[in-house]
Amino acid sequence: MTHASSSTQNPVLKDAADARHDRQFRWLLTATAVFVLVTLAGAALSMLWGGRSVLASEGLHFFTSSDWNPVENKYGALVPIYGTLVTAAIAMLIAVPVSFGIAFFLTEVAPRWMRGPVGTAIELLAGIPSIIYGMWGFFVLMPVMREYMIPWLDTHIGPLPIIGALFRGPPIGAGMLTSGLVLSIMVVPFIASTMREVFMTVPARLKESAYALGATKWEVSWDIVLPYTRSAVIGGVFLGLGRALGETMAVAFVIGNSVGFTTSLLEPSTTIAALIANDFGEATETYRAALLLLGFVLFLVTFVVLALARLMLSNLSRKEGNR
Amino acid sequence: MSKTFKFRLVALAMASCFVGNAFASDVTGAGASFVYPAMSKWSSDYKAATGKEVNYQSIGSGGGIAQIKAGTVDFGSSDKPLPPTELSRSGLGQFPSVIGGIVPAFNLPGIAAGAMKLDPDVLADIFLGKITLWNDPRIAASNRGMPLPALKITVVHRSDGSGTSFNFTNYLSKVSPEWKSSVGEGTAVKWPVGIGGKGNEGVSAYVKQIKGSIGYVELAFAVQNKLPYSRLKNAAGNYVNPSDASFAEAAASADWKSAKDFYLIITNAPGANAWPITATNFMLMHKNSKPGTKAAVEFFRWVYANGDGAAKSLGYVPLPESLVQQIQAYWAQNVK
């Protein structure tokens, strides 16, 4: 209140005060950005520090060995790393096309009265806690997988060469495929709602010009809408991918939590997040260090996957520019 | 203006600290989730009887050991006893609290609880993945006349590190040399086959869902979930049923007298009717005369005198009288 009364009396003082506030505001903004970076680096480094003893004893072996044996203090994280990547890949394989379909339907095809309610419903899906997805996967999806899906895959696709190796296994129901399916449902709302938002930003005259030239709905979506919104769409996909890589609770319910190596998507495996969540409570000394190091590896995996995706994106846009 | 605001913030933060301290309890403990139900019943009964507050946090045995070593709690709890050398290094004392039993629970249509008899080596080979079908001749040998289906066995184990797994694998290591050399014992081990469920709940839920599965859970969970459990052949060569009586006999027949700091795992106990996979929960305390330690000893003194009924109602087995006397002598010696 004192500022206001003094500044009306003296304009020079007001300018000085404004400049000071502007500087303070800039510092505040910088601080928020730095805060994120410091937190990120702090979290990653503290995990690396916690796991340094295991990193020293195992070295690169930690990334290449599939022998995870707490009794003999041998730690090779290949199985959880593989499980994390495969479940996330399955999830994205399903979720990206489905989300694209949802978003395009809602912005182009659906009758106007439907768009609002369905859009909100999809955003609501994002708010459901992951434990609910886990329980649904456990009590609903797993029995269906066990009774129908897995026996069918095992007899029809299992005998095929190469691809068959992915679809062989006993009907247990818990495994990488089940986890991938649950994850895909969990990430759809993230990707779909981002896509819907950005599809709505495409200028109507672009689309209408294409329609006027006789383009079909598919051509408009693929050749006009998608290229126009590509970077934002890929941002949405990253958001979903990040969640799929790090999801813990839902996966722990349905993946089967086994550290034995298997190529089959139908057999139980584990992911980095699920393994940490399961074992951290009772872990002491070396085992605790190994789990902390595993947490650092999740950082690395997420970072590498996202960096690769970004690299692909920049290559793509460079090609676009050259054309 | 900003200065007064800052001052208020600091004042608020300090005030909330003091409030936090004002509500501190008389005794704090942390550790194994196995005893949590009994602990919460005991502490509410104890508060009703004496007005003193005991706060127990179920954070897992590993956490309990770490917390008591760091001295942030008055007592810790672990399902796995610490060896005397490790105890003396941290100035800790150790004594048992309650007993429970772990049972092999399975899902086979038409077979009632306690009807199936299993030999220790057969149980080990099932969990090693060497016996894969329920109609295997080695299972049939001890179950003549039982209609065993040609169903695949799905092994279910704990996915989380747990005292239950520790006692179960400790038992398998005692009865199977191959288990001992290839898998070993621990709160988390490298299971040769099967799927992992989180907690007793997770294992029971998997066993309930999957036909032909076998897992291991505390007896109370098998009873609650109506899962059939098997009889086991014990060290004396008798097939026994899991029950309070057979758990108590295992605890009584174990050689506590010669166990320094009660460092004894009572699996495969020698009693004629002893249940072979009986587990003990242990309490850890500093050997000093801090008020917190004394208050904790008072609490456990009260528990051994008045807590048996509460423990029984929750499916635990109270310690035999001779063992309680030995613990009281141990306190007199170590916590002054």
**Cα angle vertex B301, ends B300, B302, to 5°?**
85
Print burial letters for B215-234: b (CB count within 10 Å at least 16), e (below 16): bbbbbbbbbebebbbbbbbb
Query: Is the CB of residue A284 less than 8 Å away from at least one CB of chain B?
Result: yes
Three-state secondary-structure class, residue A317: helix
Given a contact cutoff of 8 angstroms between Cβ atoms, the answer to whether B122 and B176 are in contact is no
Residue for token pair 């079908």: B133
Give how far Cα A293 sits from Cα of A48, A76, B219, Å: 6, 11, 36
Q: pLDDT tens for residues B212-226?
A: 999 999 888 888 888
pLDDT at B20 over 90: no
Burial class (CB in 10 A: 0-12, 13-18, 19+), B237: exposed
Q: What is the DSSP code string of B174-208?
A: HH-HHHHHHT--SSS---SS-EEESHHHHHHHHHH
Candidate from A71, A256, A279 with C-beta closest to B195: A256
Closest CA to A280 of A268, A290, A271: A290
Given a contact cutoff of 8 angstroms between Cβ atoms, the answer to whether A175 and A169 are in contact is yes
Phi-psi region of B74 (alpha: psi -120 to 50; beta: other; left: phi over 0): alpha
CB contact under 8 A, B196 and A257: yes
Taking the C-alpha atoms of residue B311 and residue B244, their distance in angstroms, rounded to an integer, is: 11
Candidate from B59, B191, B205 with C-beta closest to A281: B59
Using DSSP bridges, classify how beta strands B75-78 and B27-31 pair: parallel, antiparallel or unpaired. Answer: parallel
pLDDT of residue B282: 93
Taking the C-alpha atoms of residue B102 and residue A290, their distance in angstroms, rounded to an integer, is: 29
Three-state secondary-structure class, residue B133: strand
Q: Which chain B residue has its CA at the smallest distance from A276's CA?
A: B160
Other CB atoms within a 10 A radius of the CB of residue B299 amount to: 23
What proportion of chain B, given as a percentage, has pLDDT over 70? 93
pLDDT of residue B258: 85
pLDDT of residue B174: 93
| Rounded average pLDDT over B137-152 | 88
pLDDT at B111 over 90: no
| Rounded average pLDDT over B236-253 | 90
Sign of CA dihedral A267, B33, B239, B189: positive
pLDDT of residue A320: 64
* Element of type H or E holding A83: helix A78-104
Partner residues linked to B217 by β-bridges:
B103
pLDDT bracket for residue B18 (50, 70, 90): very low
* Helices marked H in chain B: 2-22, 36-50, 61-70, 84-90, 120-128, 137-141, 163-175, 177-182, 199-209, 219-224, 244-253, 291-306, 308-313, 321-334
Given a contact cutoff of 8 angstroms between Cβ atoms, the answer to whether A137 and A178 are in contact is yes
CB contact under 8 A, B161 and A259: no
pLDDT of residue B123: 93
- What is the ipTM, given to two decimal places? 0.78
Residue for token pair 């191959």: B178
Q: pLDDT tens for residues B166-188?
A: 999 999 999 999 999 999 998 88
Strands (E), A53-171: 68-69, 74-75
pLDDT of residue B1: 42
Q: What is the DSSP code string of B253-300?
A: HS--TT-GGG----TT--STT--TTEEEEEEEEESS--HHHHHHHHHH
Q: What is the DSSP code string of A241-307?
A: HHHHHH--HHHHHHSB---S----TTS-B--HHHHHHHHGGG--HHHHHHHHHHHHHHHHHHHHHHH
Q: pLDDT tens for residues B32-66?
A: 888 888 898 999 999 999 888 999 998 888 888 88
Query: Is the CB of residue A192 less than 8 Å away from at least one CB of chain B?
Result: no
CA neighbours closer than 13 Å in the CB half-sphere of residue B114: 7
| Rounded average pLDDT over B204-216 | 91
Taking the C-alpha atoms of residue B121 and residue A179, their distance in angstroms, rounded to an integer, is: 35
pTM for the whole structure = 0.82
**Interface contacts A/B by beta carbons within 8 Å:** 93
Taking the C-alpha atoms of residue A294 and residue A220, their distance in angstroms, rounded to an integer, is: 45
pLDDT of residue B215: 94
Q: pLDDT tens for residues A178-223?
A: 999 999 999 999 999 989 989 988 998 998 999 999 999 888 888 8
CB contact under 8 A, A284 and B65: yes
Print burial letters for B53-89: b (CB count within 10 Å at least 16), e (below 16): bbbbbbbbbbbbbbbbbeeebbbbbbbbbbeeeebee
pLDDT of residue B24: 59
Mutate to test the interface with B, among A5, A282, A292 (most CBs of B within 10 A): A282
Which residue positions in chain A have pLDDT lower than 70?
1-9, 320-323
Residue for token pair 């109602």: B313
List chain B residues with CB under 8 Å of A268.
194-196
Q: Which chain B residue has its CA at the smallest distance from A67's CA?
A: B190
The amino acid that residue B37 corresponds to is: P
Burial class (CB in 10 A: 0-12, 13-18, 19+), A257: buried
Taking the C-alpha atoms of residue A232 and residue A219, their distance in angstroms, rounded to an integer, is: 20
| Rounded average pLDDT over B193-199 | 89
